[in-house]
């Protein structure tokens, strides 16, 4: 019988969160309402301001905060969305503010049905860190590695930590806790930590396209792309595996990204990076680059597999949870990670606060997994059709194949049909459940109409409202 997480009542309860990135900070914030003390253990030392740090290897690449993530952030940190806008984070309307290409078709630039924030990861994380760490119940131990767990196969009772500073390698010391949350990201070592105390490692589901990407900062001649256009994006797909785009940052620059699959990875040399842009399906971005000023060297990133660790299954000790990328990692090209980190923190908070059920470890972990399920279905579902994909989660079964047929028809109609496009964006931005794609007006268009005409050339401006 799984015992309670142990943070549902006062009395000296201590929670440790391993990792001070976005998922860890938000988990600590959620736990602070249910524990007497929360300690965040972070291997880096936090920067003073909005600067990239080594512990976030993808931090120099494009990040977006989807609509579902915005709602979750606002629920956790009231006023945060306004604070983000006040800090200058670009608020980009989809599809009105973007030139978008997918599967050989340009999207009509109808009125925005959703907005995304495209500011830097460092800016958003810095704002969250300032808000969360202002709570006196939350302590931070910086410059410190977690090297193992305390406890046994039935219950985790804390962590072993070791300071990273100093000339001599420090000896590990025990940090006891009633609950340990792993938020160390895709490079998590929790499976090894669990094995070391005699517990079962989680079953891993994996799906890897081999996608790699590279990013570089540019400043356009007028600070924006083309008048009403804030950004470009060419989505990769089975028939066109190269993707890329330009997204605005808070300082008026743009972060340009290109992606390719295994064996055809984007280079990080300056000239080679710009030559690689010519592989996109349209020269639009290449033309803009030719007039823009590069402000950084290109940065590469190759860890893009979808990986889901099933800590919700029997065998995980009480007192241990995983959240964020440590639980479920998505292909970053879909921009879901920050939203899921916030939605997972909401799930953690709400499950611990539910008066109807005892918050056992397994029940809370199931809630965390459920918070990431839609993002997983989108990312893994799309990646299953990519050439060269590998992994043990390739076949989703007959039901998924039928759903895949329907979703391909949705995708064919989304660029030109505003009704289908609105539902498609709501699901992709995690603001509506997948059921929104089966609402009667959407289903009629998907099942009984042909794809509507779309622009032949990249649309230069937003369509006038009808």
User: What's the pTM value of the predicted model, to 2 decimals?
Assistant: 0.94
Look at residue 98 in the predicted model and tell me its pLDDT. 94
Least confident of 167-181, 256-270, 368-382: 167-181
**In sequence order, what E strands does 103-228 have?**
105-106, 114-117, 138-141, 144-151, 156-163, 173-176, 179-182, 204-208, 212-219
Look at residue 192 in the predicted model and tell me its pLDDT. 97
**In sequence order, what E strands does 249-385 have?**
254-260, 293-294, 299-301, 306-309, 320-322, 328-329
Question: Three-class SS of residue 138?
Answer: strand
What are the beta bridge partners of residue 76?
A: none
Look at residue 11 in the predicted model and tell me its pLDDT. 47
Look at residue 225 in the predicted model and tell me its pLDDT. 67
Q: Are 157 and 164 in contact (CB under 8 A)?
A: no
Dihedral over Cα of 426, 428, 430, 436: its sign: positive
Look at residue 167 in the predicted model and tell me its pLDDT. 59
Distance, in Å, from the CA atom of 143 to the CA atom of 450, rounded to the nearest integer, reads: 58
Percent of the chain with pLDDT over 90: 80
Q: Residue 364's pLDDT band (boundaries 50, 70, 90)?
A: very high
Q: Residue 466's pLDDT band (boundaries 50, 70, 90)?
A: low
**CATH code for the structural domain at 14-62+127-205+305-382:** 3.50.50.60
Q: Average pLDDT, stretch 272-297?
A: 92
Nearest of 48, 54, 156, 70 to residue 117 by alpha carbon: 70
**In sequence order, what E strands does 107-210 have?**
114-117, 138-141, 144-151, 156-163, 173-176, 179-182, 204-208
Q: Residue 228's pLDDT band (boundaries 50, 70, 90)?
A: confident
**What is the residue-averaged pLDDT of the chain?**
92
Question: Three-class SS of residue 54?
Answer: coil
The answer to whether residue 247 scores a pLDDT higher than 60 is: yes
Question: At 145, phi and psi to the nearest 5?
Answer: -95, 145
Topology adopted by domain 211-301: Alpha-Beta Plaits (3.30.70)
Q: Are 454 and 106 in contact (CB under 8 A)?
A: yes
Q: Are 400 and 382 in contact (CB under 8 A)?
A: no
For the stretch 430-458, pLDDT in tens is 999 999 999 999 999 999 999 999 999 99
Q: Residue 224's pLDDT band (boundaries 50, 70, 90)?
A: low
Q: Average pLDDT, stretch 368-374?
A: 97
The answer to whether residue 239 scores a pLDDT higher than 90 is: no
Q: Average pLDDT, stretch 143-157?
A: 96
CA distances from 126 to 56, 79, 129, 296 (A): 13, 15, 5, 21
User: DSSP letter at 174?
Assistant: E
Q: Which residues contact 161 (CB under 8 A, 6 or more apart)?
A: 41, 141, 144, 145, 146, 147, 172, 173, 174, 175
Whether the bond into 211 is cis, omega within 30 of 0: no
For the stretch 379-411, pLDDT in tens is 998 899 899 999 998 876 777 778 889 999 999
Nearest of 316, 124, 365, 318 to residue 373 by alpha carbon: 365
Look at residue 309 in the predicted model and tell me its pLDDT. 97
Look at residue 9 in the predicted model and tell me its pLDDT. 42
Look at residue 166 in the predicted model and tell me its pLDDT. 64
CB atoms within 10 A of CB 2: 17
Q: Residue 312's pLDDT band (boundaries 50, 70, 90)?
A: very high
Distance, in Å, from the CA atom of 132 to the CA atom of 30, rounded to the nearest integer, reads: 10
The domain ranges of the chain are 14-62+127-205+305-382, 211-301
More confident residue, 460 or 330: 330
């Amino acid at each position: 019988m799984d015992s309670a997480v142990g943070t549902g009542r006062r009395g000296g309860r201590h929670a440790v969160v391993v990792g001070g990135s976005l998922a860890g900070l938000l988990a600590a914030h959620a736990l602070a309402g249910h524990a007497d003390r929360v300690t965040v253990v972070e291997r880096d030392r936090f920067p003073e301001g909005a600067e990239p740090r080594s512990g976030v290897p993808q931090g120099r690449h494009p990040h977006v905060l989807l609509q579902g993530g915005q709602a979750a952030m606002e629920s956790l940190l009231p006023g945060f969305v306004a604070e983000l806008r006040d800090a200058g984070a670009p608020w980009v309307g989809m599809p009105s503010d973007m030139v978008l290409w997918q599967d050989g078709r340009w999207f009509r630039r109808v009125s925005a049905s959703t907005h995304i924030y495209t500011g830097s990861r460092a800016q958003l994380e810095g704002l969250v860190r300032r808000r969360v760490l202002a709570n006196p119940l939350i302590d931070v131990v910086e410059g410190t590695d977690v090297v193992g767990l305390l406890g046994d196969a039935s219950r985790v009772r804390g962590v072993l930590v070791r300071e990273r500073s100093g000339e001599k390698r420090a000896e590990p010391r025990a940090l006891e806790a009633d609950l340990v949350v792993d938020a160390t990201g895709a490079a998590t070592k929790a499976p090894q930590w669990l094995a070391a105390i005699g517990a079962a490692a989680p079953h891993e589901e994996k799906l890897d396209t081999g996608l790699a990407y590279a990013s570089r900062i540019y400043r356009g001649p007028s600070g924006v792309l083309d008048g009403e256009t804030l950004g470009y994006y060419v989505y990769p797909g089975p028939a066109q595996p190269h993707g890329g785009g330009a997204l605005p940052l808070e300082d008026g620059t743009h972060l340009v990204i290109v992606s390719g699959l295994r064996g055809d990875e984007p280079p990080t040399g300056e000239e080679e990076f710009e030559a690689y842009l010519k592989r996109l399906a349209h020269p639009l971005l290449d033309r803009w680059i030719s007039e823009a000023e590069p402000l950084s060297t290109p940065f590469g990133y190759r860890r893009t597999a979808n990986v889901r660790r099933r800590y919700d299954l029997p065998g995980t000790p009480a007192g241990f949870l995983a959240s964020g990328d440590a639980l479920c990692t998505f292909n970053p090209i879909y921009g879901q990670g920050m939203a899921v980190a916030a939605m997972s923190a909401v799930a953690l908070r709400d499950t611990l606060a539910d008066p109807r059920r005892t918050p056992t470890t397994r029940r809370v972990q199931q809630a965390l997994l459920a918070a990431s399920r839609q993002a997983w279905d989108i990312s893994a579902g799309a990646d299953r059709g990519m050439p060269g994909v590998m992994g043990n989660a390739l076949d989703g079964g007959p039901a998924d194949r039928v759903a895949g047929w329907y979703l391909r028809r949705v995708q064919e109609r989304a660029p030109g049909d505003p009704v289908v496009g609105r539902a498609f964006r709501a699901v992709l931005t995690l603001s509506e459940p997948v059921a929104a794609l089966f609402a009667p007006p959407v289903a009629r268009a998907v099942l009984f109409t042909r794809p509507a005409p779309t622009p032949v050339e990249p649309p230069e401006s937003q369509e006038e409202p009808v």
